[in-house]
Amino acid sequence: MGFDVLSVASEVFPLVKTGGLADVAGALPLALKREGITVRTLMPAYRGLLDRIENAETVAEFDDATGRTARVIAGRCAGLDLFMLDAPYLYDRAGGPYQGATGEDHPDNAARFSLLSKVGAALAQEAIAGYRPALVHAHDWQAALTPVYLAASNRPSPKTVVTIHNLAFQGNFPSSVFPSLGLPQTHWSIEGVEYYGQVGFLKGGLHAADAVTTVSPTYADEILTPDGGMGLDGLLRGRGERLVGIVNGIDTDVWNPKTDPVIAQPYDHRDMKARLQNKRALEGEFGLRRESGPILAVVSRLTWQKGLDLVAELCDELVERGVRLVIVGSGERMIEGRFLAAHARHPDRVGVRIGYDEALSHRVQAGADAILVPSRFEPCGLTQLYALRYGCVPIVAAVGGLADTIIDANHAAVTAGCATGVVFRPVSGEAMLAAVDRALRIYRHRELWRSLQVSGMKTDVSWTASAKLYADLYRALVNETNGS
Ligand code: ADP
């Protein structure tokens, strides 16, 4: 059965990306097409984005609560059908999607993203003549009020799914913003958006949605616990069977070592010698001394969540083990500073690039021997999936999606020939170093290392399997609407 889905997201690759959410919002629609499901995506028209939209056409106009006009512009980019929400007073400004150039949250984020959800709800209820989606899929807190506005409208509306990409970001605002949301007073309650005396965008959405998904089965379990639930575990436990975990896939065309235009030398699992040229190129790019040991890499937000304070603290211990490090990322100043200091101490063994660089992240995956992902929690994680695809062996903490996607090189897995990485717990410096030591032993056993690389490269990390699961979920919900 084919039908239309409206996806609502605050970032969509390749137009704007701060993390995994953008990758998912950009790739899932393409994968669902193969399931016979047509997805259109509503997103804000941040500065400069409209220039990149083909066949742009204004399809709807709205007056917002302050009397200003927002337009919806339909168009296409990179194979995606888009509705760009053009409200320059909210979105046409310097900085990122959520923060200004100085790193502070935009002060009007509540207005910026409540409008996104409000327009999402309007489009779901036929604000554009002839467009009638059977289901709305809202991503993260920025879009989470969509089902809330639909519920508040008291009009027939499509089924709704809210996906949690990271429960740490909940979109909580002071109670004073409530009147500006334009919701009925009854929504200022535990059944609505009220959340410990604040307005909780994600909280409201998780309560109102017909189904809630998150991005891995293990994370779906973790968020039901007080530790992982970040205040929302009670509400989530109440959703019971309506909460499911579906692992993210990756765009295997964009991430393909055989055709990747930005790496030094294309390769595949049959021709791993060519991979070595990428390692040489990476050594050159970071000024690393050429030696026989492995290069361990990090491509990540440099934050406590990602456990990168542990890596930053242990740079010297890692270097002592004969490891060279490549660090690409930005985030908490203290972690950045520690990595830069480690580079100053070991200029030809620790390469550091502070910043965001998509092409460089491809070259790192192609040239490094292993990627280190010691996250304290990780809803899904994409870096380890790119690593699998590029034969860069993941060394990961046993949490969330990392635990679901990497098969530890324990005796049973090695014997069965299915190991793809090294998995450790608990998330501590000691356990991480022990995991690196284990990885080094495997690295010295060349054939075993090669088998980990090849198993990883053969792993299906595409969207195919997960798109089917989303499609099944959508179909089940749409069938409920149809009463079957
Ligand atoms: P999260 O969304 O929590 O940041 P994920 O692993 O799900 O973590 O997704 C992060 C995405 O951002 C991956 O595509 C990763 O390669 C990319 N990324 C993170 N930091 C950088 C960086 N400094 N340069 C390039 N890509 C980065």
Q: What average pLDDT does the segment 448-458 reach?
A: 98
pLDDT digits (tens, 9 = 90+) for 265-283: 999 999 889 999 999 999 9
How far, in Å, from the CA of 12 to the mean position of ligand 1? Answer: 13
d(CA 315, CA 326): 11
**Higher pLDDT pick, 296 / 271:** 296
Q: Using a 6 Å cutoff on CB, does residue 387 contact ligand 1?
A: no
Atom of ligand 1 nearest to the CA of 383: 6
Q: What's the pLDDT score for residue 483?
A: 63
Q: Which of 361, 390, 399, 461 to mutate to test the pocket of ligand 1 (most atoms within 8 A of CB)?
A: 361
Q: What is the pLDDT of residue 20?
A: 87
Element (H, E) at 326: strand 324-331
Distance (angstroms) between ligand 1 centre and the Cα of 246 equals 19
Q: Is ligand 1 within 6 A of the CB of residue 301?
A: yes
Q: What is the mean pLDDT of residues 337-343?
A: 98
Give me the pLDDT at residue 357, please: 94
Q: Report pLDDT for 97.
A: 97
Quote the pTM value: 0.94
pLDDT at residue 300 above 70? Answer: yes
Does ligand 1 lie within 6 Å of residue 20's CB atom? Answer: yes
**Burial of residue 23 (number of CB atoms within 10 Å: 0-12, 13-18, 19+):** buried
Give me ligand 1 centre to Cα 40, in Å: 24
The more confident residue out of 253 and 312 is 312
Structure confidence at residue 65 (pLDDT): 72
Best mutation site among 298, 300, 461 for ligand 1 pocket (most ligand atoms within 8 Å of CB): 300
pLDDT score recorded for residue 451: 97
Over range 205-214, report the average pLDDT. 98
The closest of 474, 28, 472 to 249, measured between CA atoms, is 28
Q: What average pLDDT does the structure give for the chain? A: 96
Is 332 a residue whose pLDDT tops 90?
A: yes
Residue 124 Cα to ligand 1 middle (Å): 31
Q: What is the DSSP letter of 5?
A: E
Closest ligand 1 atom number to CA of residue 166:
3
Find out whether 303 and 326 touch, Cβ atoms under 8 Å: no
Q: What is the mean pLDDT of residues 194-201?
A: 97
Can you give the pLDDT at residue 2? 85
CB atoms within 10 A of CB 319: 17
Q: Is the pLDDT of residue 435 over 80?
A: yes
- pLDDT tens digits, one per residue of 57-67: 999 999 877 78
Q: What pLDDT was estimated at residue 484? A: 55
